[in-house]
Amino acid sequence: MKKRTTKNNKNDNCWSTIGVWGNAQEKCDRLGEVIHCRNCDVFLMAGRGVFESRPPVGYLTQWQKEISIKKEERKKGDIGVMVFRLGKEWLALPVEYLQEIVEEKKVHKIPHNEGVYILGIVNIGGEVNTCYSLMNLLEIDENTDKNDSQLRRLIVMVVNGDRFVLPVCEISGLARYSSSDLLPAPATLGEKMGTYLVGMFQVENHQVAALNVEQIYRGFEGIAV
């Protein structure tokens, strides 16, 4: 069989002209033998030449910068949280502790319960759960506007296998922050609330208080129902 000889230079990309990827009507004579260009020694040698060639000046340095930027982007915002509002305060809980968010449901009072941390019990998905007051635990003042301070959502949080249902006023949505972005809690939040925070971070126009879940768990732990 007559074989086609190719020029030995980097511009001889016969596979894209007279090969299987080309549009020429007259195809390479070797296709009848090798069936596909990837089986041809010309194509294989060209590919090997690409891998063995030296990178252009500045190529490796540029890619090192690109990888470094992507690494920094991964570091920034490595903690995912759910942002919500209680009264006038914007707060955040890590998403790994959240089980679900449900619409406002009727909370049934518990007879003889005079504590301020337990609001009652609530039925969620056929299961009776204790409803806790995060607002009272953090000593957050209710907004003077009664309608604005109404508790409209229930956050179900699971910590160490225990479920906590927490009424909140408003759900903002998911956000991310990095530990390096955290700022100390301002004194205006109050000493009691400050003990339950890991710090503050910015989300759009809101200063958000990142909650320390383990501290909140200990705050509710041991409260009798």
98, pLDDT greater than 80: yes
* 33 or 223, higher pLDDT: 33
**Mean pLDDT (whole number) for 220-225:** 68
Report the 10 Å Cβ neighbour count for 165: 23
For 108, the enclosing helix (H) or strand (E) is none
**pLDDT category of residue 143 using cuts at 50, 70 and 90:** low
Q: Could you give the CA distance from residue 124 to residue 122 in angstroms, rounded to a whole number?
A: 6
Q: Could you give the CA distance from residue 165 to residue 120 in angstroms, rounded to a whole number?
A: 10
φ/ψ of residue 191, rounded to 5: -65, -40
Nearest to 180 by CA among 91, 82, 77: 77
Lay out the sheet containing 153-159: strands in order across.
Answer: 98-103, 153-159, 162-168, 127-132, 118-124
- Residue 72 makes CB contacts below 8 A (sequence gap 6+) with none
Token pair in block for residue 185: 């809690």
Task: Report, in this order, helix, strand and coil percent for the chain, each rounded to 5.
Answer: 30, 30, 40
Domains along the chain with CATH numbers: 14-74 (no CATH), 78-220 (2.40.50.180)
76, pLDDT greater than 70: no
70, pLDDT greater than 60: no
The dihedral sign for the CA sequence 167, 111, 214, 162: negative
7, pLDDT greater than 50: no
Average pLDDT over the chain, rounded to an integer: 79
Token pair in block for residue 36: 């596909």
CA angle 153, 155, 161 (to 5 degrees): 160
